[in-house]
Chain A
Amino acid sequence: MSARRSRTPPFKACRRCKSLAPREATRCPVCGSTDLSEDWEGAIIVIDPENSLIAKKLGITRPGRYAIKVR
């Protein structure tokens, strides 16, 4: 079985609002929560929430980086 090389992601995800924060952060820059997780999957980078249908469907109103799944 070939071992897949796993790289550490450069972000942590907030369990409360799902936004991605830098690895060094201890607090979520969006909601202020300290409940950050390194175990997350998938990302959505919202640049223009007003024109983005996906952002509207997911209820995202602020531009930023979000995780899809946070454990």
Chain B
Amino acid sequence: MGVWRVGQSAAEQRSSRAQPRLYAVRTVAGRELDVALIMEQRVKDENIPIYAIIVPPQIRGYVIVETSAAFHAANAIQGIRYAKGVVPGVLRYEDVESLLKPEAVVETLKPGDIVEIISGPFRGMKAQVVRVQPGKNEVVLNVLEVEYPLQITVPGDSVRPARERGS
């Protein structure tokens, strides 16, 4: 009886241990995908219980690992030159989900908003929204940092709302 009870609690412990959690792994910026691919290979070769590896596009220098315990992530990155270590603490699923399902920027913009252009030949310049075309996922902008009026149409992914600097 007693043995049975011990067996049950061990099974319970095992199931609670198998609960997936999200851990962040710090990497050299720009090498996130390399780290993820090496980890994937190692997980397959050595049967490490890592369920998924996420390379979030918004965050440079971090890879998110879904596993049951931090030491599995530490094992998987051991010896990888571009991996710098597992960040202590667990990430919340809601926070990571919001990284994976980015809302379309176009839908949050309105004419008159100031945006920053983040790709293409005008990268880094500020611009004012003239018109938004959500159907085409495009936005028409007036580039502010040129001496003559310049209107351009760019994809919605190429802009981000400009941050107001504190006064």
Which of A7, A52, A71 makes the CB contact (< 8 A) with B66?
A: A52
Q: Is the interface of B mostly helix, strand, loop or mixed?
A: mixed
- Number of residues in A with C-beta < 8 Å to the partner? 24
A residues with a Cβ closer than 8 A to B are 1, 5, 7, 9, 41-49, 51-55, 57-58, 65, 68-69, 71
How far apart are the CA atoms of A58 and B55 in the complex, in Å?
A: 15
Q: Which residue of A lies closest to B33 (CB)?
A: A43
A54 and B40 contacting across the interface, CB-CB below 8 Å: no
A52 and B52 contacting across the interface, CB-CB below 8 Å: yes
A47 and B40 contacting across the interface, CB-CB below 8 Å: yes
Which of A7, A48, A54 makes the CB contact (< 8 A) with B100?
A: A54
Please give, as numbers and ranges, the residues of chain B lying within 8 Å of A54 by CB-CB distance.
20, 22, 51-52, 54, 66, 93, 96-97, 100
- Number of residues in B with C-beta < 8 Å to the partner? 31
How far apart are the CA atoms of A62 and B159 in the complex, in Å?
A: 33
B residues with a Cβ closer than 8 A to A are 18, 20, 22, 30, 33, 36-37, 39-40, 43-44, 49-58, 66, 93, 96-97, 99-100, 102, 124, 155, 157
